[in-house]
Homo-oligomer: A and B are copies of this chain.
Amino acid sequence: MEEVLQKPNINTTPIELMPDFRFAQSVDCVIFGYDGGEIKVLLIESDLPAYKGQWSLLGDVLHPDEDLDHASYRVLQERTGLSNMFLEQVKTFSAVNRHPAGRVITTAYLALVNVKDYQLQRQEHSLHWHSVSEITTMAFDHKLILDTCLLALKKKIQEEPIIFNLLDKKFSLRQLQQVFEAVLGIEFDRRNFRKKLFTTGMLKDEHEMETDVHHRPGKLYSFNPAAYEKIKGNSFVGLQF
């Protein structure tokens, strides 16, 4: 079979000579949440002897009858009880020695959840939220996958209104700024931040005030998807470099 596998091009190889189907495929979900001023990630303790005691991402192998999007959604639903969360493919990791069992190719997904929603629904006691900034090592190549997805998140919250997935439906501008700052690791000028956000037209005034806060209660807003749909078509955003 080695001979067949070395054929240079899948396009010119007849079906009956298709190379071995010898890879395992998995998904790994990087589930981010925001809590206590920090970005957190939901992890499970690895049960693989090679990684005993280390933390790993939530994942599973691809089933024969599903695609990768389906598998990642299934993992999230089965393990967190949540559905309808933000979930998007980020990158596929394929280092030859990334898994002790053999060639397991894994596709990383970025998921954003409201920590409160998860806490209400969880039945799973082996899962824990970890501050992203405190994680140094993980099982497999999961630290690399985490870092890659964190970078993707930093980029993406500047391009699309996905950050609202980390907040309650109604939020104050102070909370919104804090989440942006926690993800990006930088501080914004309060006034410029608010001006910029209002300019987008995506914030809907809920005509309510915060309650149970230790500071002066702020007005509550919600995300207005219809306003975003209007500006979404402006695909050329100018040269960013």
Contacts and interface: CB of A to CB of B under 8 A. Distances in A.
B21 A24 contact: yes
B105 A240 contact: no
Most buried by B among A61, A69, A95, A105: A61
Contacts of A159: 240-241
Contacts of A24: 18-23
A50 B161 CA distance: 42
A144 interface: no
A83 interface: no
A165 interface: no
A47 B96 contact: no
Interface stretch (A30-38, A166-174, A208-216, A231-239): A231-239
A78 B18 contact: no
B92 A62 contact: no
Interface of A: 5-6, 8-15, 18-26, 44, 46-50, 56, 58-69, 75, 78-79, 89, 91-92, 94-96, 100-105, 107, 139, 154-155, 158-161, 184, 186, 196-197, 200, 202, 228, 231-232, 235-241
A51 to B, nearest CB: 9
Which of A58, A69, A92, A139 gathers most chain B CB within 10 Å? A92
Contact of A241 (B23, B50, B231): B231
Given A9-B58, A13-B47, A65-B96, 6 more contacts: A5-B64, A9-B75, A18-B24, A155-B235, A161-B241, A200-B239
A222 to B, nearest CB: 16
